[in-house]
Structure 1
Amino acid sequence: MPQHRRPDDKRVLVIGLGRFGSSLALELVDRGWEVLGVDSNARLVQTFADALTHTVIADSTDEEALRQIGAPEFTRAVVAIGTHLEESILTTSLLVDMGVSTIWAKATSRRHGRILEQVGAHHVVQPEHDMGERVAHLLSGRMLDYVELEEGFSLGKTKAPKELIGKPLRETKVRQKYGITVVSVKRINSPFTYATEETVLQKGDVIVVAGRTDDVERFSEVI
């Protein structure tokens, strides 16, 4: 039976304590989550034994081993196995069969990702690919930061161009001209705030814009 998530259930099962899995697990612990870290490598388990809530040496492709560590009791799990595709796919499939309601899985390629989705992973991430794509966007343009929300739609952080400074955003017609929406603004030495049609940008402002990836990139080139 699928597990029902409780509002206060801040437990997560992280399988695979390599660079991605361990970084994720440590960050979750810092955020107040209870993390059970699992790996078949005794050295890795020992390395993170004091940093994570619980750690255990186990073969995640063994259904009985997963049941013994309480995998079916978790509503959230991360399969962070990257180097062994068969183990990654089989582990994900077993967690699906056990009714874990939210499964994140790391993929090393698009083909690997498609297979993980086919066996039932709810969220598939490609850390190396995603970071490479993000850095490429930052290197090739003037954006200060970039996040792709889904294929073809992104958020970009950039400096406010001269043509937008000194008048309300509604008068700039930025959406009609560039196809993007200014969603937030940051003044010098101030935090980000929501942007409205009445927001007047100032010299030195940093803005976050949303839109189709091509439009966001084109807008970031405006000086």
Structure 2
Amino acid sequence: MGRNILEGGVLVVGLGRFGSALAESLARSGTQVLAVDPRHEVVQEMANRLTHVVEADWTSEEALRQLGAADFEVAVVAIGTDIEASILATSVLVDIGVPHIWAKAVTHAHGRILTRVGAHHVVFPEQDAGKRVAHLLTEKILDFIELDNGFAITKMRAPQEAWGRTLGEARLRSKYGVTVVGVKRYGQTFTYAQADTYVEQGDLLIVAAQTEALERFAAETS
């Protein structure tokens, strides 16, 4: 299972509550997902909900290579309570050369180790849940993920000041210190943002910045 089948897809390692929810959410959005878990009963259950789910040792470099892990641009290590397996799986993906590795941490010490072995992004789903819900309640931000070092990514509706203009013309980065990395129009998939990307009313934006800048951007735009 390599790029020919899952080009542009995401590898999800671990199908606990977080991994399963993530994999299903990605699949619903149209993203190709390859999910891996060593537990037979978990794989059997998820086989009815995901197109590509495989029973394999998530700490084995040989097993992950055979599944085509090296062909993925993005991998998420979503292993929960087994901290040793989480660290080993992350290390294996680093050795394989996956360019963008996201890893779930259950403690800050766990997160520091994941960073040291090479994870590019560490997330704390349980700890961040309250912050995420608070941001979603503003109704301006449709989704919110806070990463390490106070950096966050959000999905939000395009502000009125950007309607009918290109991103270069709207100058959101220079005004608010945020970077628009993707734009989605109704009925279409997300596209990578460029300076000449045209924004219309109703478009959704993927915006990345320091958390404070994102909060300020949401508060000051309508």
TM-score category of the 2 structures, normalised to the smaller one: 0.5 to 0.7
Q: CA deviation at 1:148?
A: 7.3
> Paired residue for 1:14, among 12, 15, 21?
12
Code of the aligned partner of 2:56: A
Across the two proteins, how many residue pairs are aligned to each other? Answer: 167
- Given the alignment of the two structures, is residue 151 of structure 1 paired with residue 150 of structure 2, yes or no? yes
Q: CA deviation at 1:73?
A: 2.1
- Do the aligned partners of residues 131 and 63 (structure 1) sit closer, same or farther apart at CA in structure 2, a change above 3 Å counting? same
Q: Is the 8 A contact 1:154 1:212 kept in 2?
A: no
Bigger radius of gyration, 1 or 2? 1
1:60 Cα deviation from its structure 2 partner: 1.0
Query: What pairs up with 1:116-195 in 2 under 5 angstroms?
Result: 116-135=114-133, 147=144, 151=150
The amino acid that maps onto 2:107 is S
Aligned residue number for residue 166 of structure 1 = none
* Cα distance in 2 for residues equivalent to 1:71 and 1:117: 20
Deviation, 1:69, is 1.8
Q: Is the 8 A contact 2:57 2:63 kept in 1?
A: yes
What is the distance in 2 between the residues matched to 1:44 and 1:130? 26
Please tell me the residue identity of whatever aligns with 2:150: E
State the shift of 1:9 in Å: 3.3
Name the structure 2 match of 1:42: 40
Letter in 1 for 2:17: R
Q: Sequence identity of aligned pairs in percent? A: 53
Q: What is the SS of the residue equivalent to 1:36?
A: strand
Change (3 A) 1:137 1:64: closer
Query: CA–CA distance in 1 between the matches of 2:112 and 2:21?
Result: 24
Residues 153-206 of structure 1 show CA distances to partners (whole Å, capped at 9, x for unaligned) of 899x9xxxxxxxxxxxxxxxxxxxxxxx7x9xxxxxxx779xxxxxxxxxxxxx
Change (3 A) 1:137 1:83: same
SS of the residue corresponding to residue 54 of structure 2 reads strand
Instruction: Give the letter aligned to residue 70 of structure 2.
Output: P
State the shift of 1:68 in Å: 2.1
Report if the CA contact (8 A) 2:13-2:36 is conserved: yes
Could you say what secondary structure the match of 2:19 adopts?
helix
1:66 and 2:64 are equivalent in the alignment: yes
Take 2:114 and 2:211, find their aligned partners in 1: how far apart are those partners?
29
Structure 1 unpaired stretches of 5+: 158-180, 184-190, 194-209
AA aligned opposite 2:22: L
1:132 shift after superposition:
2.7
Q: 1:62 Cα deviation (Å)?
A: 1.6
Q: Which amino acid aligns with 2:110?
A: H
Structure 1 pair 40–151 and aligned structure 2 pair: CA distance change class (3 A): same
Instruction: Give the structure with the larger helix fraction.
Output: 2
2:96 is the alignment partner of 1:98:
yes
Q: TM-score, normalised by structure 2?
A: 0.61
The DSSP-based 3-state class of the residue aligned with 1:32 is coil
Whether the aligned pair in 1 keeps the contact of 2:12 and 2:76 (CA below 8 Å) is yes
Work out whether residues 45 and 57 of structure 1, in 8 Å CA contact, stay in contact via their aligned partners in 2.
yes
